[in-house]
Amino acid sequence: MSTQTEQALLDSIPTGLFIGGQWIDGETGGTFDVQDPATGTVIRTIADATPADGIRALDAAVAAQDEWAATAPRVRSEILRTAFDLVQEHKEDLALLMTLEMGKPLAEARGEVVYGGEFLRWFSEEAVRISGRYGINPEGTGHMVVSQRPVGPSFFVTPWNFPFAMATRKIAPALAAGCTVVIKPPALTPLTTIFFVSLLEKAGLPAGVVNVVQTSKSSALSAPIIADPRLRKLSFTGSTEVGRKLIAQAAEGVLRVSMELGGNAPFVVFDDADLDKAVEGALAAKFRNIGQACTAANRFIVHKDVAGEFAKRVTERVNGMKIGRGTEEGVAIGPLIDADAVAKAGELVDEAVGRGATLLAGGKAVEGTGTFYEPTVLTDVVAGSAILREEIFGPVLAIATFETEDEAVHLANDTEYGLVSYVFTENLQRGQRMIDKLETGMMGLNVGVVSNAAAPFGGVKQSGVGREGGFEGIHEYLSTKYTLIPVS
């Protein structure tokens, strides 16, 4: 990828806020820099929204709400479908942009464009299928009409690790349902969202229906928007710690909330597992997005009889992973998002080794430019190690062992989180038992990646509330109205 191509793309990205259908400067004219984590260089300087700008964006969303809600479902559907088509036309631009601002390898960024685009296509089809029901009540005294209405103006706070898919996963169902939007993209990776919303504009989205307010001061901007009585919905993807605070703020206005929060995914390998499948699944579940995913396998719980062979095969593959800038050919491990992420991975590995874990590969930061950490494999991780409790968010594969099925279930469920679990077994009955017993919102059975636009994404326990994607996703943006018509 030439530097001229990169620069031309970056130069095409709007630098302003998008409010009421216009790209404008922030109230104070403030700006902040976006950096490439592979090099540390500034790649774009953009407008920095103030709390007042956030309220201006909400003003625009409120002003557009009634007309957008009254827009024919087919029209909303066609705009989303046109946006999907535009994404396909610009898929290389979107992929490169994600690699530049977030660091993931270009091949993975292309995969995210495919995944994220599918939310536009899926919800373009769901927009025309919003329905209710009609029938006589049990007493025979009246007719019951149950209908669905858009919730209303919605505020989205998205994370830096999947800057395209997290925007489409929230915006698409909201638009399909007839809700207007204010979105605050992450300060670390705002450019992809800005570019995507420029495509929505080209797709014919009316002014004010989607508004973008990027900022370097997230909580200061978010608080007054959440407190505004005109807001009716809050959706957040990020850490459980921040999610708890936002839920508390949303409670004041009794807002509808969708929260996709932290994860601590177990990856359970039984002694009857197909180890070839398990190794491939492990590499996908752990090292996709450089391990920076809430769905990343965090705790590898492997039967003691196959743990040695599993660790050997995984280590061989990890030792062959190329580290580098995501635009380089063959790179499997790009940079972590910032120096804090590198430090956290190092601390977790060092603590685990200090407790008795064995280091089989990696285990340290890469010297030089950028924020890189070696892909790492640990085995014999001791119970109580921080790496088994905390979300790693880095390319570190930590293996602990078990002996019985009950022990595996206990270890898998021994966490406050419950977003996703992975299980590898060739025993159909055991697989069914795991579906029933594991405390998780999603599960991969003999597969290491589960996300799909047609499936409900979300967790249980402290991994959040609500679902994104699937038939369930649009209902997060609809309220149910019941009307009784007396029998004449």
Backbone angles phi and psi of 171, in degrees to 5: -65, -40
Token readout for 484 is: 């009784």
> Among the residues of 103-236, which ranges form H helices?
106-126, 165-177, 191-202, 218-227
Backbone angles phi and psi of 408, in degrees to 5: -60, -45
The dihedral built from the CA positions of residue 35, 36, 39 and 45, taken in this order, carries a sign that is negative
Token readout for 352 is: 């685990």
With a CB cutoff of 8 Å and minimum separation 6, the contacts of 107 are none
- Write the DSSP symbol of residue 457: B
* Cα 34 to Cα 26: distance, rounded to the nearest angstrom: 17
Name the residue among 321, 161, 152, 298 with its Cα closest to residue 239. 161
Token readout for 373 is: 């950490």
Give me the half-sphere count of Cα atoms (radius 13 Å) on the Cβ side of residue 90.
25
Strand ranges across the sheet with 142-150: 133-136, 142-150, 478-486
Q: Which of 108, 126, 294, 405 is catalytic?
A: 294
Residue position matching structure tokens 């698409």: 172
- Return the H-helix or E-strand segment holding 276: helix 275-287
* Cα 467 to Cα 456: distance, rounded to the nearest angstrom: 5
Could you tell me if 249 and 227 are in contact, meaning their C-beta atoms sit under 8 angstroms apart?
yes
Active site residue 260: yes
* Cα 254 to Cα 343: distance, rounded to the nearest angstrom: 38
Pairing type for strands 142-150 and 133-136 reads antiparallel
User: 85: buried, middle or exposed (CB in 10 Å: 19+, 13-18, 0-12)?
Assistant: middle
Backbone angles phi and psi of 231, in degrees to 5: -75, 140
Token readout for 245 is: 């605070």
Could you tell me if 294 and 325 are in contact, meaning their C-beta atoms sit under 8 angstroms apart?
no
* Cα 1 to Cα 7: distance, rounded to the nearest angstrom: 11
Token readout for 115 is: 């995944």
The dihedral built from the CA positions of residue 82, 476, 98 and 112, taken in this order, carries a sign that is negative
Compute CA distances 117 → 113, 233, 238, 303, 417, whole Å: 6, 23, 21, 38, 28
Q: Which of 101, 201, 260, 374 is catalytic?
A: 260
What is the set of active-site residues? 260, 294
